[in-house]
Structure 1
């Protein structure tokens, strides 16, 4: 007699689980469409240069492009409309004549200024009248002039007066840096920087505050100086002779030297900026004299690097 056969095994799967699996598979297999984006080339621009606002991942079946100033599509901020079929550009209310739209939707900005800094928006329109938007931020920086230092007190009294040194000129989006005796500035109880770092204040000056002081300016478009800048000799009238160590500079700099006059004992004396004569090698005939208060017949020579 044969043994009875085992009953077939049946597995019950809830219909909700099957429906969820099918839904997930359908979602994973859906084609993905890349989002419209705009890229600023270059990311940071200097005044007077050209900038391309490059469009990426354009939708299909387009009939036109709209460019706007700002982060939205406002008619009163429209730069221009580009009609693809006729390759025609129709200027908008804020069109300046420096903008050019290409067939791929990109916008060329010519001879940019700091007033052009801000957001720009591209709106695409397809044959079904569907619109897509993308924005980009444009940064335009001024080309930095060579800095120089001014002082608010030419004859401060030791232990009593303060001196404010200001790095000039003032420019937008600029970082100001300071050095004393060739070293980066460290704030102390007697050395204070303004919020913007443009002004360095020396409180209760002493004969140890004679400098030299240097300021530098930087922004994202600052040019890298030469690897071997020309040496600059600075002749300063004063009681002693010294030569601070040379160091490489990475930004534009200007030097203002101070010299002490008066008795050597620790009583009040006068701290005055001296006359500086800056002579750039290798042409000694090319010089710049900064007329400041003269101290005495003796002189000292300081050396530093500049360009």
Structure 2
């Protein structure tokens, strides 16, 4: 056997020489696939396109890079190159070859020469070996940022060969833009002037022709606001009697939650928090009230428009059991006066009050009680008091807080890509409800009845949910869902357009028939 391999090589060289001449042998079609990819440590199969045969091939020669012999077979006698002992399996029926325990050094051009019945068939293919993707991880230069005032760099590292990098924000691919830079072959992601939409989660997806890997998510905390500040006065009237209780509530969009200050005529009040309660007011508390919100992360502040409160002094008053009546609860109005009172008469909205089933007058008409107040009880209640020498009166405007209920979303169900999307959420509620928007269960907007996006993308398709909340009743509505599909198909003539055309045609036809009939009758 020591002399067998050199003899076999001489024979194969002679066969190859004969293959190049026009006589004796004919050129066979390529018998190997165009190219193969495999991973380190795996097994690759070089399958020929030959039909299996029981008759042994006259000779088969497998080599790599035209210089290293893998196996030579002549009349069923095999000789294997020393580098491939124990790593290959030769299939005698098709001349196919299996190569195991692959290394990066196995990358190269593989060729086979097959002699059968005096004909030579030849095949060549390229095998590329890759290291599998592993150990994918992401590091961030910072995770605590301020909207419009910070930048962040994310770096992706992984083990493997011939790596390709793809960044994901949630389920959406991150692409380069004026604010987004992809460098170092895509392994580094830099976002300039971050916005709240850049909070993530960010993942790095790494791939090569034989494997893939994805990092753990990285979330960013983006601080923003305060914005959309709103001052709510309850009761909502501007004039109050001495002794009234007044509530002012300040709402604002902010992350983290804002800190609040209150001002009367420009002078700061000692009261903190988002709500200011004025109990048993007197005339010295009249003036312009405003609130200021401050975000300790963004170092930004916003001040509300002032709300004017005027406290009037008089000898009579109507005091409610609560300044925030809520539908379904019990409320009492008490008519108080200084001095002697002989009679008390109640009026509602300028007419004598006729008690309904849910009203009770007691204590000589001093107390008007609503067993279960409802929104129909809204209005101005006036208590006329008198004695033999004087008369006076006091009023109370009752606003029954209720809801939210009957939440509704208005807007398109289908919109072309790059179009402007506007969805409007409404609810029956007093005071006006606050709204939170969700897309496929993820919060996208707060404190706004409208959701507007200037240029929609396919990723904006899904179920938009609007949830309403009343800060007085402390009730939250059932969520209402509005489906939206973003499409790139142009819209045709809608059903209303078609109906208009049909009606127009009918009108023209009727006019023609009527005109013809008129001419006929005249003749």
Q: TM-score scaled by structure 1?
A: 0.53
Pick 1 or 2: higher relative contact order, CA cutoff 8 A, min separation 6: 1
Match of 2:101, SS state, is coil
Q: Which residue pairs with 2:484 in the alignment?
A: none
Please report how far the alpha carbon of residue 53 of structure 1 lies from its aligned counterpart in structure 2 after TM superposition: 0.6
Please report how far the alpha carbon of residue 166 of structure 1 lies from its aligned counterpart in structure 2 after TM superposition: 1.6
Q: Which residue pairs with 1:66 in the alignment?
A: 61
Q: 2:132 aligns with which of 143, 148, 157?
A: 143
Match of 1:201, SS state, is strand
**CA shift digits 1:71-93 (9 cap, x unpaired):** xx33xx2222222343x22326x
Q: 2:71 aligns with which of 64, 67, 80?
A: 80
Q: Is the helix fraction higher in 1 or 2?
A: 2
8 A Cα contact 2:155 2:187, kept in partner: yes
Q: 1:203 aligns with which of 192, 196, 199?
A: 192
Alignment of 1:257 with 2:257, yes or no, is no
- The 1:253/1:156 distance shift into structure 2, 3 A limit, reads same
Partners of 2:90 and 2:152 in 1: CA distance = 54
Please report how far the alpha carbon of residue 150 of structure 1 lies from its aligned counterpart in structure 2 after TM superposition: 1.3
- The 1:264/1:36 distance shift into structure 2, 3 A limit, reads closer
Structure-to-structure mapping, 1:53-202, within 5 angstroms:
53-57=46-50, 62-70=57-65, 73-74=66-67, 77-86=68-77, 88-91=78-81, 94-95=83-84, 97-103=86-92, 104-125=94-115, 132-145=121-134, 147-152=136-141, 162-194=151-183, 196-202=185-191
Q: Please, which runs of 5 or more residues in structure 1 have no aligned partner?
A: 1-31, 224-250, 268-301
Q: Which residue pairs with 2:42 in the alignment?
A: 49
Q: TM-score scaled by structure 2?
A: 0.33
Partners of 2:64 and 2:203 in 1: CA distance = 41
Partners of 2:85 and 2:149 in 1: CA distance = 57
Please report how far the alpha carbon of residue 165 of structure 1 lies from its aligned counterpart in structure 2 after TM superposition: 1.0
- The 1:85/1:178 distance shift into structure 2, 3 A limit, reads closer
Match of 2:160, SS state, is coil
Structure-to-structure mapping, 1:217-296, within 5 angstroms:
217-222=206-211, 252-260=214-222, 262-265=296-299
8 A Cα contact 2:148 2:195, kept in partner: yes
Partners of 1:266 and 1:119 in 2: CA distance = 65
- The 1:118/1:161 distance shift into structure 2, 3 A limit, reads farther
- The 1:161/1:79 distance shift into structure 2, 3 A limit, reads farther
**CA shift digits 1:129-154 (9 cap, x unpaired):** x7543111224343332522112456
Partners of 1:121 and 1:266 in 2: CA distance = 71
- The 1:144/1:253 distance shift into structure 2, 3 A limit, reads same
Please report how far the alpha carbon of residue 198 of structure 1 lies from its aligned counterpart in structure 2 after TM superposition: 1.5
Q: Please, which runs of 5 or more residues in structure 2 have no aligned partner?
A: 1-25, 224-295, 302-441, 444-523
Q: Which has the larger radius of gyration?
A: 2
**CA shift digits 1:226-283 (9 cap, x unpaired):** xxxxxxxxxxxxxxxxxxxxxxxxx63421112246533459xxxxxxxxxxxxxxxx
8 A Cα contact 1:40 1:53, kept in partner: no
- The 1:160/1:263 distance shift into structure 2, 3 A limit, reads closer
